[in-house]
């Protein structure tokens, strides 16, 4: 090549008209007529039109340009011309057209079913749709690291193989562990609670596994959870951190991924609104009142909120909402009772969920952590667990216990909402669900 290769995005940025450039990538669209081949080439940064002419290329190269199918890998160089009709406003007229590897007929064409696209996810991740989502995903996880590090949190990595449940035995994935059995992590929480006694403020972004036995558009069997845990932190402060984190993530996506949101057809006015709005906090009891008064829905006090109820509540809001103080009896064993709660003191837990608007459901779940070993034992027994298996966890309460809180943010739930996806399966490159563990 007599000129350097540059990203397609750079060519489209302007300043190259009349100059020679080189680009490399894969054929995204192709059509030819007589002495011209009209190709669109994509690389990780964008797409550009390449108009190959018989009289500007060596014969063999022009023949290659004409016969190359979609996904053929190519290296092209030539002069850049401004052309309003071309995607991005520029096109290249190549004087060199090199095929790196010819492609077979690509199985993915327009209008294929979601299932077909998921069966072929290893190829579908080349689509502009999936590329845009994966770029946004990268911004989201990068933002999470940045958010916590800026605030003095230390990254802490939990084990993935764990001997105990923390979020309910029914969703555990069992793993053969030499002669014994163990489980894949449902959360880092029990280990995070041990680590705050040295590091105080910690976070992670880790793979999380839950055998979700019903089909929903918001549950994966393998997902990534961004969790935080902090010593000396009570529940109110904890939910404020979660609000700040969500705003931080949105800000970073709006700063870095406008083009990608556009590829997805995602309007951004509601996201921009979230940056400047304050997210309301309501209690579970208030949420039930709202459902009754505004929607005529009668939910008996004490029942956890179902998807339909969460969605109905969120019809009344245009930003995420924090719902606090769920009934203690419906909660996981580690969420402590709040004896001084505004509504139903002694019957509700120091906990919160953050719900996203537009039917995206729960994006964050958090709580203060019970420090009373007898209470912990009682509720483990309620759940059919043997407290003897949690000795290491009780130890964390025995040596200088402090109030502490934490939450988990579902990375794919947040991505699905920010990207406006219909199904959480598109928020992760290779989804694992009840019905799918391949490719």
Q: What residues line the site for ligand ATP (CB under 6 A)? A: 167, 210, 212, 219-220, 223, 225, 361-365, 408, 410, 412-413
Q: CB of 276 within 8 A of CB of 318?
A: no
Residue 23 CB partners (closer than 8 Å, separation 6+)? 5, 6, 7, 8, 11, 41, 43, 48, 50, 75, 76, 77, 92
Other CB atoms within 10 Å distance of the CB of residue 44: 11
Cα separation, 312 vs 299, in Å, equals 12
Q: How far apart are CA 421 and CA 432, in angstroms?
A: 17
| Residue 203 C-beta: closest distance to ligand ATP, Å | 14
> Nearer Cβ to ligand ATP, position 26 or 379?
379
In whole angstroms, how far apart are CA 124 and each of 120, 146, 391, 412? Answer: 6, 30, 47, 18
**Nearest distance in Å: CB 209, ligand ATP:** 9
Q: In what order do the strands lie in the sheet with 222-231?
A: 154-155, 201-209, 222-231, 404-410, 361-368, 351-356, 321-324, 281-283
Q: What helix, strand, coil percent values describe the chain, rounded to 5?
A: 35, 25, 35
Q: How far is the CB of 310 from ligand ATP (least distance, A)?
A: 8
221 vs 396, beta carbon nearer ligand ATP? 221
Report DSSP letters for 60-95, one per residue.
Answer: HHHHHHHHPPTT-EEEEEEEEEE-TTSGGGEEEEEE
Nearest distance from C-beta of residue 210 to ligand ATP, angstroms: 5
Identity of the residue, 72 or 189, whose beta carbon is nearer to ligand ATP in the bound complex: 189
CB of 120 to ligand ATP, least distance (A): 23
Q: Rounded to whole angstroms, what are the CA distances from 424 to 33, 129, 384, 413?
A: 42, 14, 31, 7
Cα–Cα–Cα angle for 119, 125, 127, rounded to 5 degrees: 110
Q: CB of residue 225 vs ligand ATP: minimum separation in angstroms?
A: 5
Report cis status (omega within 30 of 0) of the bond before 439.
yes
Q: How far is the CB of 393 from ligand ATP (least distance, A)?
A: 17
Shortest Cβ 213–ligand ATP spacing (Å): 11
What's the min distance (Å) between Cβ of 44 and ligand ATP?
A: 27
Contact criterion met (CB below 8 Å) for 374 and 204: no
Nearer of residues 223 and 279 to ligand ATP, judged by Cβ: 223
CA 268 to each of CA 14, 273, 274, 314, 357: distance values in angstroms, whole numbers, following the listed order = 26, 9, 10, 18, 13
Nearer to ligand ATP, 11 or 226 (CB): 226
């Amino acid at each position: 090549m007599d000129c350097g290769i540059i990203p397609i995005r750079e060519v489209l940025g302007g300043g190259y008209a009349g100059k020679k450039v080189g680009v490399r990538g894969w054929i995204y669209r192709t059509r030819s007529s007589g002495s011209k081949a009209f190709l669109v080439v994509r690389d990780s940064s964008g797409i550009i039109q390449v108009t190959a002419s018989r009289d500007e290329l060596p014969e063999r190269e022009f023949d290659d340009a004409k016969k190359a199918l979609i996904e053929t890998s190519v290296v092209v160089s030539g002069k850049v011309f401004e052309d309003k009709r071309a995607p991005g406003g520029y096109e290249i007229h190549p004087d060199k057209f090199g095929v790196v590897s010819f492609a077979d007929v690509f199985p993915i064409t327009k209008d294929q079913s979601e299932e077909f696209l998921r069966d072929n996810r290893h190829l579908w991740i080349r689509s502009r749709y999936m590329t845009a989502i994966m770029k946004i995903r990268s911004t989201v996880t990068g933002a999470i690291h940045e958010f916590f590090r800026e605030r003095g949190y230390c990254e802490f990595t939990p084990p993935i193989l764990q001997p105990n449940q923390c979020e309910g035995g029914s969703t555990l994935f069992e793993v053969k562990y030499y002669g014994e059995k163990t489980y894949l992590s449902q959360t880092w929480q029990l280990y995070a609670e041990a680590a705050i006694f040295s590091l105080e403020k910690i976070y992670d972004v880790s793979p999380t596994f839950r055998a979700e036995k019903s089909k929903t558009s918001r549950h994966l069997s393998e997902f990534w959870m961004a969790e935080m845990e902090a010593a000396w932190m009570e529940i109110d402060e904890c939910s404020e951190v979660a609000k700040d984190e969500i705003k931080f993530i949105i800000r970073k996506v709006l700063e870095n991924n406008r083009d990608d949101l556009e590829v997805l057809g995602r309007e951004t006015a509601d996201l921009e609104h979230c940056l400047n709005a304050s997210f309301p906090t309501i209690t579970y009891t208030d949420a039930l009142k709202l459902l009754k008064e505004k929607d005529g829905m009668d939910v008996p006090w004490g029942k956890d909120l179902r998807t339909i109820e969460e969605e109905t509540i969120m019809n009344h809001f245009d930003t995420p909402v924090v719902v606090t103080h769920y009934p203690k009896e419906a909660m996981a064993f580690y969420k402590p009772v709040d004896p001084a709660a505004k509504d139903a003191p002694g019957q509700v837990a120091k906990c919160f969920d953050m719900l996203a608007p537009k039917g995206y459901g729960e994006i964050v779940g958090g709580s203060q952590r019970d420090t009373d070993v007898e209470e912990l034992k009682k509720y483990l027994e309620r759940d059919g667990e043997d407290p003897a298996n949690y000795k290491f966890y009780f130890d964390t309460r025995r040596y200088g216990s402090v109030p502490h809180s934490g939450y988990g943010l579902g990375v794919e739930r947040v991505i699905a909402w920010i990207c406006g996806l219909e199904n959480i399966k598109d928020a992760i490159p290779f989804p694992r669900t009840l019905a799918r563990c391949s490719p």
